[in-house]
């Protein structure tokens, strides 16, 4: 619950920043329109305000959606994150263009549903703004994931307490009332529950069994033997996947 609240505060701060940037873009585009068309007697500033509201400001509600999808992608396939995210950005922008075109056509702003004039306007300027905002949202998720991967975790070896980066731990094993943290140079003991540790180390660590929590980056392969499935770690360690955790995607 505390982690969710902390994440909500971070997202809220980011979304406020995006809203401010979008408002500045709106103001900049409005000034451009006034300088370009203000000298004409027929120019009505409310026309520009209506156009920019639909073609610029209405993109804001899509930013939380992009963040949500980006988080799903980074948990599903970290290696291809930017490729999948680029596809999402293109799809979102294309969908937004169609929705904006429909709104303009409905209110008779443009005579055609897919207006050549709107295509020229949107893909000449507004699409750049939206690409920057969407890319910023995708980068924000990647940056947060990078910060999470720098989490520190403490454990004991005998009477000595040691703190190390969580990404140096290959997997965590439940051991009675303790957790055994397996790293390349040995193992540590930590008094904690597997459920609590699983929540704290999301999304870098994945639960594969009631006894095992595994670092995604330490997984080399997955294999099946008869009815059982196993993950093979970079160290060569072979861990069984619990039945309730199948099918398991990395």
The 10s digit of each residue's pLDDT in 158-183 is 888 887 778 888 999 988 888 999 98
Per-residue pLDDT tens for 53-95? 999 899 999 999 999 999 888 877 777 889 999 999 999 999 9
| pLDDT at res. 205 | 86
Q: CATH number of the domain at 188, please.
A: 2.40.50.1020
Per-residue pLDDT tens for 30-49? 898 888 877 777 778 888 89
Pick from 70, 64, 66, 73: nearest CA to 12: 64
Do 15 and 124 reside in the same domain of the chain? yes
What distance in Å separates the CA atoms of residue 172 and residue 168, rounded to the nearest whole number?
11
What letter would DSSP give residue 247?
S
| pLDDT at res. 4 | 47
What distance in Å separates the CA atoms of residue 29 and residue 202, rounded to the nearest whole number?
41
Do 143 and 239 reside in the same domain of the chain? no
User: At 124, is the pLDDT very low, low, confident or very high (cuts 50, 70, 90)?
Assistant: confident
| pLDDT at res. 250 | 55
Residue 45: other Cβ atoms inside 10 A? 12
The answer to whether residue 250 is domain-embedded is no
pTM score, whole prediction: 0.59
Do 104 and 36 reside in the same domain of the chain? yes
Q: The domain containing residue 56 runs over which residues?
A: 2-148
Hey, what's the torsion of the CAs at 123, 126, 130, 133, to 10 degrees?
140
Among candidate residues 122, 148, 174, the one where a domain is terminated: 148
Cross-strand bridge partners of residue 164: 153
CA-based torsion, 125, 29, 92, 66: positive or negative: positive
Do 213 and 163 reside in the same domain of the chain? yes
Pick from 61, 83, 59: nearest CA to 73: 83
The answer to whether residue 211 is domain-embedded is yes
Reduced DSSP (H G I as helix, E B as strand, rest coil) percent helix, strand, coil of the chain, to 5: 55, 20, 25
Do 67 and 16 reside in the same domain of the chain? yes
Q: Has residue 148 got a pLDDT over 80?
A: no
The answer to whether residue 48 is domain-embedded is yes
What distance in Å separates the CA atoms of residue 17 and residue 73, rounded to the nearest whole number?
23
The Cα diameter of the chain in Å comes to 84
Across the range 96-106, mean pLDDT stands at 94
Residue 165 · residue 151 · CB < 8 Å: yes
Q: Has residue 195 got a pLDDT over 90?
A: no
| pLDDT at res. 66 | 94
| pLDDT at res. 198 | 85
């Amino acid at each position: 619950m505390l982690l969710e609240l902390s994440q909500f505060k971070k997202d809220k701060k980011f979304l406020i920043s995006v809203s401010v940037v979008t408002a500045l873009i709106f103001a900049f585009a409005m000034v451009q329109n006034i300088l370009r068309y203000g000298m004409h007697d027929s120019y009505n500033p409310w026309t520009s305000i209506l156009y920019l509201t639909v073609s610029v400001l209405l993109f804001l509600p899509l930013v939380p959606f992009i963040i949500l999808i980006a988080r799903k992608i980074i948990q599903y396939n970290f290696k291809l994150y930017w490729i999948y995210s680029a596809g999402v950005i293109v799809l979102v922008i294309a969908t937004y263009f169609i929705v904006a075109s429909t709104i303009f056509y409905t209110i008779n702003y443009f005579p055609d549903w897919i207006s050549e004039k709107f295509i020229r306007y949107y893909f000449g300027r507004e699409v750049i703004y939206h690409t920057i905002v969407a890319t910023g949202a995708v980068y924000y998720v990647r940056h947060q994931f990078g910060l999470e991967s720098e989490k520190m975790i403490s454990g004991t070896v005998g009477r000595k307490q040691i703190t190390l980066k969580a990404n140096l731990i290959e997997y965590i094993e439940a051991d009675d009332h303790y957790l055994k943290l397996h790293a390349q140079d040995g193992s540590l003991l930590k008094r904690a529950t597997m459920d609590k540790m699983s929540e704290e180390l999301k999304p870098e660590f994945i639960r594969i069994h009631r006894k095992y929590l595994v670092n995604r980056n330490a997984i080399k392969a997955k294999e099946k033997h008869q009815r059982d499935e196993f993950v093979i770690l970079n160290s060569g360690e072979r861990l069984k996947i619990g039945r309730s955790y199948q099918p398991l995607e990395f």
